[in-house]
Structure 1
Amino acid sequence: MSLALGRFCLSSRLWRSLSGCREALAGSRAPALRPQEVAVLHTSAVASAGHNKWSKVRHIKGPKDAARSQVFAKLTMMIKAAVREGGPNPDFNPYLYQLVEQGRQRNMPKTSIEAAIKGADKSKPTSYALYEARGPGGCYLIIEILTDKTQRSFTELQMILKKNGGTHTDALHSFAKKGVVIVQPQDQDGKPLRMEQAVDLAIQAGAEDVQETQDEEEEKDVYKYICDLSSLRDVRSQLTSLGLVPISSGPEYLPNITVQLSDADKETVFKLLELIKDHPDVMRVYDNIE
């Protein structure tokens, strides 16, 4: 369920809130990995956008423990990349801080987090890249990868797509890059958060929109606050001060053009997404399926 905050634009209160988010995300850029684009896992082994509405019809689902292990493995890769780019201290590396908090929320062992931070210098250098594709039924996919050999990863993804009704093509035009904060459906006191309250808090925090969605890995409802990327840090801080409990935060590619698929195409796309997610270099996959 999504309630766009645009309907409140006539309220002076909303205009004051929207104009109040001016703090840009801190961090430096580096050729190997652009920190502002460090991905944060949200849902399953690789969080994907746009197909939660039809994911419940799936009749094939891997063991939960295996999915959790895959999440931890990919978080480990991302933590190492964040350390190499911004240093091992989460207090001075906001992207590392987000990933560490993500690991804690996912019950990643403390020893595993510490080992990832300490072992960053010994791991292979990696670079961040996007792979754009078109899937069955005309849907578009954005695939985020973290790899030590970009061309190898691209070639392998191209083979997966070719064998499963997809192809490499421009897809960014169907997405907008936004800041996203995922929060628990209860406040810090454990009281359930109603959608009406979530909307009011979004206005106060300066978010553009709030959606009620599902965390597929944990199988529970969560709220997704959407904001301008430059306001992400401030919006998360504001939501925390308003009594909410963030699970994760980071940039996401959200669809601005969606497509409807037949049941047959949905099943085909699901199989394709699973194959893409299982690739060890893939961090996240976004789609524009309605």
Structure 2
Amino acid sequence: MAGHSKWSNIKHRKGAQDKKRGKLFMKLAREIYMAAKQGGGDPDTNPPLRQAVDKARSNNMPNENVDRAIKKATGDLEGVNYEEFTYEGYGPGGVAVMVKVLTDNKNRTAADVRHAFNKNDGNLGENGCVAFMFNRKGYMAIDRTETEADEEDMMLEVIEAGAEEMETTDSHFEIYTEPETFTEVKKSLEEQGYDFTTSEVTMIPETYTPLEEEGVEKMLKLIDMLEDNEDVQEVYHNLDADEAVLEKLS
């Protein structure tokens, strides 16, 4: 999995932008709703719900919003019925893109996603056209300026916690797990006093598609347009962009 830092550069950028969006709490609530609907309303016995709740709280979502989303899913409150879908396609320059949505109107969402691809030099493909390029993994990032641990000590603690792999960038320790062990590894590291700038189960590309500045700008516009859609929960892609280009375009 060498080279994930290409992905994480954009991931950290995305996280900073998401926090500015007024729609973030709505998206987090839908994620909680779906996890509770599929596995029950108790985070202690439903790991995906636990992950969704932790993600919401890390983004300062009020507890009453979390509780309301769970109650809607379990039938304690009246709510809209959402369905989960994943769309796949290609962005500018052939960048692989997966779009995870939760929607109460599949036709509306499909049209909106297709429009975003078409408007930004991409095209929506068939199911499975890019999914094979991604692996589902647990991912955690620890800001190196927020810990006194050096790389060697951090590696030993990560291995002991049960993680699969760790990479070190200039700014972060990046930890990867199997999805099934994500919660356990995260809890172990939290008990040792570590905080995370990002922690989630996500899709990480096996290979990357490099683009020059013009293509990167178009791809970022596609990502932003998709993420601005309230039905879109996550956008996964395999863009390889130079960090200086990302800084310039940000």
User: So what's the TM-score if we normalise by structure 2?
Assistant: 0.78
Contact 1:50 1:286 in 2 (8 A): no
Contact 2:55 2:200 in 1 (8 A): no
Please report how far the alpha carbon of residue 270 of structure 1 lies from its aligned counterpart in structure 2 after TM superposition: 0.8
Who is 1:198 aligned against?
154
Task: Kindly state the Cα deviation for residue 172 of structure 1 after the two structures are TM-superposed.
Answer: 1.3
Q: Deviations over 1:195-215 (max 9, x none)?
A: 33332222222322223569x
**Matching residue of 1:227:** 177
Unmatched 5+ stretches in structure 1: 5-48, 215-220
The residue that corresponds to 1:73 in the other structure is: 26
Q: Secondary structure at the match of 1:79?
A: helix
Higher mean C-alpha displacement, 190-199 vs 171-180? 190-199
Q: CA deviation at 1:155?
A: 2.4
1:50 to partner: Cα distance? 2.0
Match of 1:93 among 42, 46, 62: 46
The Cα shift of 1:238 comes to: 3.2
Q: What is residue 273 of structure 1 aligned with on the other side?
A: 223
The aligned runs of 1:4-43 (5 Å cut-off) are none
Q: Which residue of 1 aligns with 2:247?
A: none
Secondary structure (helix, strand or coil) at the match of 2:87 reads strand
**Partner amino acid for 1:196?**
E
Secondary structure of the corresponding residue to residue 251 of structure 1: strand
Structure 1 residues 149, 223: closer, same or farther in 2, change over 3 A?
Answer: farther
SS at match of 1:119: helix
| Contact preservation (8 Å) 1:207, 1:225 | yes
Higher relative contact order (CA 8 A, sep 6+): 1
Per the alignment, residue 167 of structure 1 pairs with: 123
1:80–1:123 contact (8 Å) kept in structure 2: no
**Is 2:137 the partner of 1:178?**
yes
Task: Decide whether aligned partners of structure 1 residues 222 and 119 sit closer, same or farther in structure 2, where only a CA change above 3 A counts.
Answer: farther
CA distance in 1, matches of 2:138, 2:208: 19
2: CA distance, partners of 1:240 / 1:249: 11
Q: Distance between the aligned counterparts of 2:213 and 2:175, measured in 1?
A: 29
The aligned residue for residue 38 of structure 1 is none
The CA RMSD over aligned residues, in Å, is: 3.1
Once the two structures are superposed, the pairs formed by residues 215-254 of structure 1 within 5 Å of their partners are 222-246=172-196, 249-254=199-204
For residues 101-157 of structure 1, give each alpha carbon's deviation from its aligned partner in whole angstroms, at most 9, with x where no partner exists.
Answer: 222222212222223223333222212221111010121111111112334322221
Q: 2:109 aligns to what?
A: 153
8 A Cα contact 2:147 2:194, kept in partner = no
Partner amino acid, structure 1, of 2:185: V
* Structure 2, unpaired ranges of 5+: 241-250
How many percent identity over aligned positions?
A: 26
Equivalent position amino acid for 1:52 in 2:
N
2:29 and 2:154 map into 1 onto residues whose CA distance is 32
Report SS of the residue matched to 2:190. helix
Higher helix share: 2
Q: Which amino acid aligns with 2:69?
A: A
Aligned length: 231
Equivalent pair of 1:52/1:213 in contact (CA under 8 Å): no
Cα gap change, 1:92 to 1:206, in 2 (>3 Å): closer
Deviation at 1:182? 4.1
For the 8 Å contact 1:101–1:247, the answer to whether it is kept is no
Partner secondary structure for residue 239 of structure 2:
coil
- Matching residue's letter, 1:179: G
